[in-house]
Structure 1
Amino acid sequence: MSIHRTTVLPRVAFYGRTAEASDLATAALVLGGQYQQCVSVLPDGAITAVFSDLGNRPDYWRTPATLLLDHEREISRDGGLDDLLTEAVRPERRFDFVISTNVHRLSCDTATRTTLLRTLAVAGIEFLHAPEIRDGDRLPIMPWRLRSVDYIEVLTQLIRDGGHL
């Protein structure tokens, strides 16, 4: 008799954002690089949803419908940050974690970022990030390791930096 252990994959939503909006093809490639950075630190098949935006919140610009991986393969986009947040509070959501290359991808604005992190924390969703390591002006290269955001530490720092809860 053999015992088979089933490994439950984490259900992870990817979120990417870039200010590059002058050329949608370049933006799709930048977002694709962020996606690949995050996928590289997760088990195969862990990404269950893909969200991305261009520009800065709340005035996101036009967004590409897909993320471009290595100039050939494409990944379909499920929506933007607002769509991610809407799904996050639903009991039937497709993810229990959100991953990005940096917590600042959620928003450059401290108060907005604090609100977004609080929304995820209240929903029981852990925010993970695969830090970007840049090599000159090229796309990010491989991360050192996957990191989990400690909400208390992050929110405390955001408040110190002038954000509000």
Structure 2
Amino acid sequence: MDNRVVITGLGVVAPNGVGIEDFKYAIKHGISGIRYNPELEALGFSCQISGTPPLLPEHISDCFSELELRNFKSTGIMYGVIAGMEAWKDAGLQISDKIEPDWDSGIVFGTGTSGIDKFREAIYKIDNHEVRKLGSTVVSQIMGSAVSAHLGGKLGLGNQVTSNSSAWMGKDKRDV
């Protein structure tokens, strides 16, 4: 392939709206997604507000089957896949049901983490010497490229499927 074409679409999973239309409405009307979170209070945090995206069952069922949700505990993947699927459609691209991969399409999806719940669960099982109870989905839920991998599988992408992640570095960090 000599030429590359980048087609960009928009997908949104944000504290003040899931989906382009809900997010646009919230922005236009000054609706914040920051809310009191009782879970933070129960954990003993002094700050008890969060910006948690309001995922409804239909958001999840549009992108994940019941089988895929079995033992699924990675909210970061869920947020990324929902936004990524919307972005794919918003870009005017079709979701193929062909068996043959789409060798001309790939994905780069940047993320900080795939979610910590599954990672924490895995650490507890390892600490308790229960490695045989980890299950077959642990790695695919805790790896850094998990969102890209899930999207690549769902969309049948055959070209490069990867993620990018980088840390902030300013002058103050270089002087240490």
Task: Give your verdict on TM over 0.5.
Answer: no
Shorter-chain TM-score: which interval? under 0.3
More helix per residue: 1 or 2? 2
TM-score, reference length from structure 2: 0.22
Of the two, which has the highest radius of gyration?
Answer: 2
More strand per residue: 1 or 2? 1
